[in-house]
Structure 1
C-alpha cells in the first residue's frame, strides 16, 4: 500500500506538469529527435521533483501502449503545435493520469492490465514460472506480457530487464505436435531462445532506443526489426537497435547480481554506477559531469541505497545532496575554507 506521503504527492502534481510530461513523451516518439531536444528534456526533468515524478509515470505507461492503437501513436504523427496534436495530448493526459490509475498505483509500481502480465515495482524483484515451465526473473521496474498459442510461446518485455531460463515445450513431450519456439519481443526486435539461460534488457527512450541480451547457456538468435539475423553463443552479449546489432562483447555473470539483491562494480564510471542505482529507487539521481568518470569498485547491497551513497561519499571526493525524497544530486566535494 502506498504511504500517506506518497498519496499526498500524487494528488498535488499540477495538471500543467502532467501535460508537459505527456508532451515530452510525444516529442521523443518522433523519428528525428535532436540532441538539443534531449538536452531540453533532461533539463526539464531536473528542474523540479514533480517533473521527474510525472515523467516516470508516463514513461512506464508508454511501455504498456507499445504495439496497441493509442493516442500516443496519433499524437506522434500529427504536426507539432497543431490543434490535432493538442487534442491528442489532452486525451493522453486524461488516459494516463485519470483513466490509467497511475496516481493510486503505489510508489514505483507498474500496473498489470492483462491476466498474463507480471510486473515489479521500483526496488522489487520477482521470480515466476510460466505454464510451460520457463523461469522468468524480473529486475526492478520491469514488466512482461505472455502470449502462448498453438504456434509460438511469446513473451513481450515491456520495460526493464529479465533473466530467462527456458524449458522444453510440454506439447512436444505430450505428443501434441511440433515444439513451439520461445520468443522474447522488445521494441527493437525478437529474440529466439535455443535451449538457453539469458538476460534481456529494454532500455528506455532516454537511452536512444536499444535492447541488450547476454547469453549464459545455449544460444540466442537476434532478429532486429529491419536488420540482419545474428546468433549469440554462450558467453556473448550484445546490444541492438531496430536496424541491427551494434555491439558484441563478453557476457558477465556479475551483471546479474541484481538477482541476489546486489550490484557489482569493477572500475565502473560513477555516472554509470549511479544510473544502475537509479533503476532501484524512485526519483532522480543525477551526477555532475565533473565527477562522472570517477571509478567505483565493490559489491553493494541494493536494500539500502542511502548507505551506498554514504559509502561513496566517504571513499570518493564527492558530495551527495538530498533536495527531496525523490531528487538527489552527486557533485564534486566542496573544500572547507
Structure 2
C-alpha cells in the first residue's frame, strides 16, 4: 500500500506527469525487467507528487479503458536498439505519447511519432525554432514539425515551416506529395499533414516557386498566392490571406472559423489531449488567440461563446456546451 494519500485535487506539475507517463508505458511495453520496476517504485517513493501522478494515471486508465500496449514488445525493442543509450529517455517519452494518444483514438499522433524522433531538426509541442542554412537561407519551424536537411535539399516530414531562401536559388523542399522549388529571395510557408489539410500546402509571401507533384503536372506560384497539392495534381492557386504567417508570432487569427477547427489548431500547441463536443463544433469564432498560451485561449473562448472547458488534471480537456 502506498504511504502517500492521493485522494485529493492537488494540481500536478507537467514534468512530473510526463515522468509518470514514461514509467507507466515503460513497465507495460514488454521491454522492462526487475531493474526498471525497482527504479519506478523508487521514483514513486521519492516525492508525494510522483505517487499522486502515478495513481491518477492508473485511475484514468481504469475508468476510460486505456490500453498502453500501443507498441508490441518486438517493435519496442527494435526502436530501443536503434538509438544510443542517451536517447532511450526520448524514446520512452515517445512511447508514452504514442500509447495514450492511440488509446484515445488520436491516430494522427501515432503516425507522426517516428518523424519527430529521427529527423535532423524537429520541434516539440508548443515549440518554434529558427534554423540557419547555407547561403543566408533561414527556416522557422512551427510546433510539431520535423525536417531533414541534405545540403540544398530539405525534406518536410511533418508540420509547417517558413523558408526564406536568401540568395540561394538551388533550394528545394520535398514532401510525401512532391517538390517545391522556390526562387532566390523568396519567402514561403510549406505545410504537410496539418489538421483538415489534404496534401501539402504552399503559401508565397514573396517571390515565386515551382510546384511539382510526384506524378502530376507542375505549375508556378507567385507572390500572394497559395495552393495545396497531392502526389497527382495541384489545386488552383488562390489568394493568400494577410494572416497566413500569424503563427510565426504565436497568434491564431480566426475569421468566422468553426470552433472545432480553432480547437484543432490550438491542440497542436497544447500538451495533452484537446477534444470538442460535436454539439458546439460548428460555432463560428472570430478573434485573435495565443498559440503560446493555449490554456488562456481556451478560457477566452469560454468567455465569448456559450461553452465551458472540462479539464482532467491539466492534460485532457473537452470543450462542451455551457
Normalising by the residue count of structure 1, what TM-score does the alignment of the two structures yield?
0.67
Q: Does 1:162 align with 2:168?
A: no
Name the structure 2 match of 1:13.
25
CA distance in 2, matches of 1:49, 1:327: 15
Q: What's the CA shift for 1:321?
A: 1.2
Q: Does 1:141 align with 2:144?
A: yes
Query: Could you say if the C-alpha distance between residues 268 and 111 of structure 1 is closer, same or farther in structure 2, counting changes exceeding 3 Å?
Result: closer
CA distance in 2, matches of 1:308, 1:217: 30
Query: Could you say if the C-alpha distance between residues 289 and 194 of structure 1 is closer, same or farther in structure 2, counting changes exceeding 3 Å?
Result: same
Query: Could you say if the C-alpha distance between residues 294 and 209 of structure 1 is closer, same or farther in structure 2, counting changes exceeding 3 Å?
Result: closer
Q: What's the CA shift for 1:213?
A: 0.7
Name the structure 2 match of 1:199.
189
Q: Does 1:234 align with 2:237?
A: no
Name the structure 1 match of 2:242.
253
CA distance in 2, matches of 1:95, 1:209: 32
Query: Could you say if the C-alpha distance between residues 316 and 16 of structure 1 is closer, same or farther in structure 2, counting changes exceeding 3 Å?
Result: same
Name the structure 2 match of 1:185.
174
C-alpha RMSD of the superposition: 3.2
Query: Could you say if the C-alpha distance between residues 202 and 225 of structure 1 is closer, same or farther in structure 2, counting changes exceeding 3 Å?
Result: same
Residues 105-126 of structure 1: per-residue CA shift (max 9 Å, x gap): 7998986657xx2221110111
Q: What's the CA shift for 1:103?
A: 1.8
Asked whether the equivalents of residues 258 and 285 of structure 2 are also in contact (C-alpha less than 8 Å), the reply is yes
Q: What's the CA shift for 1:189?
A: 0.8
Q: What's the CA shift for 1:272?
A: 0.9
Q: Secondary structure at the match of 2:279?
A: helix
Query: Could you say if the C-alpha distance between residues 99 and 327 of structure 1 is closer, same or farther in structure 2, counting changes exceeding 3 Å?
Result: farther
Q: Which moved more, 1:136-145 or 1:251-260?
A: 251-260
Residues 212-260 of structure 1: per-residue CA shift (max 9 Å, x gap): 0100111111111111112111111111111111353211231211211
Asked whether the equivalents of residues 18 and 93 of structure 2 are also in contact (C-alpha less than 8 Å), the reply is no
Asked whether the equivalents of residues 226 and 237 of structure 2 are also in contact (C-alpha less than 8 Å), the reply is yes
Q: What's the CA shift for 1:198?
A: 0.3
Asked whether the equivalents of residues 7 and 103 of structure 1 are also in contact (C-alpha less than 8 Å), the reply is no
Asked whether the equivalents of residues 22 and 96 of structure 2 are also in contact (C-alpha less than 8 Å), the reply is no
Asked whether the equivalents of residues 17 and 50 of structure 1 are also in contact (C-alpha less than 8 Å), the reply is no
Pick the structure with greater CA Rg: 2
CA distance in 1, matches of 2:301, 2:95: 29
Q: Number of residues paired by the alignment?
A: 255
Asked whether the equivalents of residues 188 and 209 of structure 1 are also in contact (C-alpha less than 8 Å), the reply is no
300, 309, 314: which is aligned to 1:325? 314
CA distance in 2, matches of 1:15, 1:271: 35
Q: Does 1:94 align with 2:94?
A: no
Asked whether the equivalents of residues 269 and 292 of structure 2 are also in contact (C-alpha less than 8 Å), the reply is no
Query: Could you say if the C-alpha distance between residues 245 and 137 of structure 1 is closer, same or farther in structure 2, counting changes exceeding 3 Å?
Result: same
Residues 97-154 of structure 1: per-residue CA shift (max 9 Å, x gap): 675532247998986657xx22211101111211221110011111211111xxxx10
Residues 150-186 of structure 1: per-residue CA shift (max 9 Å, x gap): xxx10111211000000223xxxxxxxxxx6210011
Query: Structure 1: which 5+ residue stretches go unaligned?
Result: 19-46, 59-88, 170-179
